[in-house]
């Protein structure tokens, strides 16, 4: 029996089952474990060569898909009468070149939207799911403590030099995002030294470290101007911070409500030990304000 789109939820319902359409990394596991801990049933759409196979044992049911098998996803969701879904985890852009397997449903979406750019394609997939009565929600609906909020996360804020570099990085990251090329920019001594493309953030950070011989630089990681914040929000975790340490990056700037921080306490602790500053601001202008570590009760 098909799902009636008119009955699809307009707001996330934590008492209803949820489908997790998962890529790689630790975010899918954390999301699934958190949902299960509060009594929510989870159904998994796992990507071949991306998703941790162990996650299947944590879910009510699961299906393995290749990138582009949209019809298979829809069939699975309809079979289990799932009305809400969350995309989480990374899919390597390089994977799109070597192992994408678009089925007829995905090809129809591609023909309709006329683009394979990340944001446009994901919005097209979301629209297709909603036609079937499955609403897509942000991972922050479950991982509520992971969404970036305004302020300074670390024991120090930005230095004056870091603020000036951050302004340049903000403009570069937003320009990069406007053409759907990436989300991150690294700046050192007033110069943009690396921009994120298909290789991903960590590889971009390492490239910046090589180009600057590990001289101090700053990372600005932002959602794209046109980004649907339910989909593919910028994310950071311990690996990001360790890569920054190894590459001489001394500060990180995020957009408030525009990034996910995996296990914030661990990330902040690691950053503080390395004297890395992490701030989250709602706009470019706020970079120039003095942000200090939030007081904790």
Pick from 141, 158, 178: which residue ends a domain? 141
Please give the average per-residue pLDDT across 200-218, as a whole number: 96
CATH number at residue 204: 3.40.140.80
CB contact burial 35-46 (16+ within 10 A = b; e otherwise):
beeeebbbbbbb
Q: Is the pLDDT of residue 46 over 50?
A: yes
Q: Is the pLDDT at 39 greater than 90, yes or no?
A: yes
Is 168 inside a domain boundary? Answer: yes
* Higher per-residue pLDDT: 147 or 122: 147
Whether residue 153 is found in the same domain as residue 282: yes
Q: What pLDDT was estimated at residue 7?
A: 46
Q: Note whether 153 and 283 are same-domain residues.
A: yes
Q: Which structural domain, as residue segments, surrounds residue 198?
A: 147-288
> Does 95 share its domain with 189?
no
Give the tens place of pLDDT for each residue, 235-254: 999 999 999 999 999 999 99
Angle, helices 201-211 vs 238-247, to 10°: value is: 10
How much of the chain exceeds pLDDT 70, in percent? 91
pLDDT confidence of residue 6: 39
Query: How confident is the model at residue 232, as a pLDDT?
Result: 80
d(CA 295, CA 183): 29
For residue 67, name the pLDDT band (cuts at 50, 70, 90).
confident
Average pLDDT, the chain: 90
Name the percent of the chain lying above pLDDT 90. Answer: 75
Query: Residue range 49-63: average pLDDT?
Result: 97
Does pLDDT of 295 surpass 70? no
pLDDT at 293 over 80: no
Averaged pLDDT for residues 52-75 = 96
What is the total count of domains within the chain?
Answer: 2
Shared domain for 162 and 264, answered yes or no, is: yes
Amino acid 226: pLDDT: 86
pLDDT digits (tens, 9 = 90+) for 83-96: 999 999 988 765 55
Is residue 4 scored above 60 in pLDDT?
Answer: no
Band (203; pLDDT cuts 50, 70, 90) = very high
- Do 151 and 137 have their domain in common? no
Same domain membership, residue 182 and residue 257 = yes
Per-residue pLDDT at 118? 66
């Amino acid at each position: 029996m098909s799902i009636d789109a008119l009955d699809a939820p307009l707001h996330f319902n934590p008492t209803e089952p949820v489908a997790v359409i998962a890529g790689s990394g630790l975010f899918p596991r954390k999301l699934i474990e958190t949902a299960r801990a509060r009594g929510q049933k989870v159904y998994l759409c796992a990507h071949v060569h991306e998703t941790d196979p162990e996650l299947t044992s944590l879910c009510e049911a699961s299906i393995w898909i290749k990138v582009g098998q949209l019809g298979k996803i829809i069939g699975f969701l309809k079979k289990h009468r799932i009305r809400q879904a969350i995309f989480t985890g990374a899919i390597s852009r390089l994977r799109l070149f070597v192992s994408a397997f678009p089925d007829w449903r995905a090809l129809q979406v591609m023909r309709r939207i006329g683009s394979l750019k990340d944001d446009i394609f994901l919005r097209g997939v979301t629209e297709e799911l909603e036609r079937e009565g499955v609403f897509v929600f942000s991972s922050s609906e479950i991982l509520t403590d992971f969404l970036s909020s305004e302020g300074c996360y670390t024991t120090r804020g930005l230095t004056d030099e870091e603020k000036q570099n951050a302004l340049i990085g903000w403009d570069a990251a937003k320009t990069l995002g406007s053409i759907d090329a990436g989300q991150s920019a690294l700046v050192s001594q007033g110069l943009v030294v690396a921009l994120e493309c298909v290789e991903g953030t960590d590889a971009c950070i390492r490239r910046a470290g090589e180009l600057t011989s590990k001289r101090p630089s700053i990372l600005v990681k932002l959602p794209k101007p046109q980004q649907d914040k339910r989909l593919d929000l910028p994310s950071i975790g311990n690996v990001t911070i360790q890569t920054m340490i190894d590459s001489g990056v001394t500060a990180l700037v995020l957009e408030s409500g525009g990034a996910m921080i995996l296990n914030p306490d661990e990330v902040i602790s690691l950053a503080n030990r390395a004297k890395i500053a992490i701030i989250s601001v709602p706009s470019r202008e706020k970079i120039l304000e003095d942000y200090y570590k939030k007081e904790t009760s």
